[in-house]
Amino acid sequence: MNDVPWLSDDEQRMWRQWMGLNAELLATLNRETQADAGLSNADYQVLVVLTDSAEGRIRVSELAAALQWERSRVSHHVARMEKRDLVSRRGCPDDGRGAFVRITETGRAAIERAAPGHVRTVRRLVFDALSADEVAQLGEIFHRLRSRVGRSTG
């Protein structure tokens, strides 16, 4: 016998709305960031982490953790970004197996071109539709859900 408690109609409706919103929002951000600055949403995410890091650099393993990506995905993506001079990769002097990823001037210029459009799109599609109270409520809900996902073992 299957003991899985299936989603109620309301739960299923909410879940599908969330999944659809997530997919549509990411697709829209990807299209607009590509048009504004020639960056994919993944490129943008990498560059955001790097600009928020001390000296614009971070270890590959820390970048993977920050993005919630597998290390192999980070390595492949960084290699593609290196070819476009958005980032550079250098060995870690303290650890022969480790490497740092650093944002380049080209990468910094690209994110500076992309950021205003990215923020404008996020504001238009998300925050302009919500009251300040709703923003606070969603922030609390997302925090609670992320803490559960972070503890999940599958």
Query: Poorest-confidence range of 76-80, 96-100, 123-127?
Result: 96-100
Q: Is the pLDDT of residue 92 over 90?
A: no
Chain segment 102-118, per-residue pLDDT in tens? 999 999 999 999 999 99
- For residue 47, what pLDDT is reported? 97
pLDDT of residue 2: 77
Q: Which long-range contacts (CB under 8 A, 24 or more apart) does 86-92 make?
A: 86/39, 86/43, 86/46, 86/47, 86/110, 87/46, 87/47, 87/50, 89/60, 92/59
Domain extents in the chain: 28-151
pLDDT band at 150 (very low <50, low <70, confident <90, very high): confident
pTM above 0.75, yes or no: yes
Task: Dig out the tokens for 8 from the structure.
Answer: 């109620």
Residue 98 has φ and ψ, to the nearest 5°, of -90, 165
pLDDT in tens, 16-51: 999 999 999 999 999 999 998 999 999 999 999 999
Compute, in degrees rounded to 10, the torsion defined by CA atoms 16, 18, 21, 25. -140
Integer Cα distance of 41 and 27 in angstroms: 9
Q: Give me the chain's average pLDDT, please.
A: 92
Q: Tell me which CATH code domain 28-151 carries.
A: 1.10.10.10
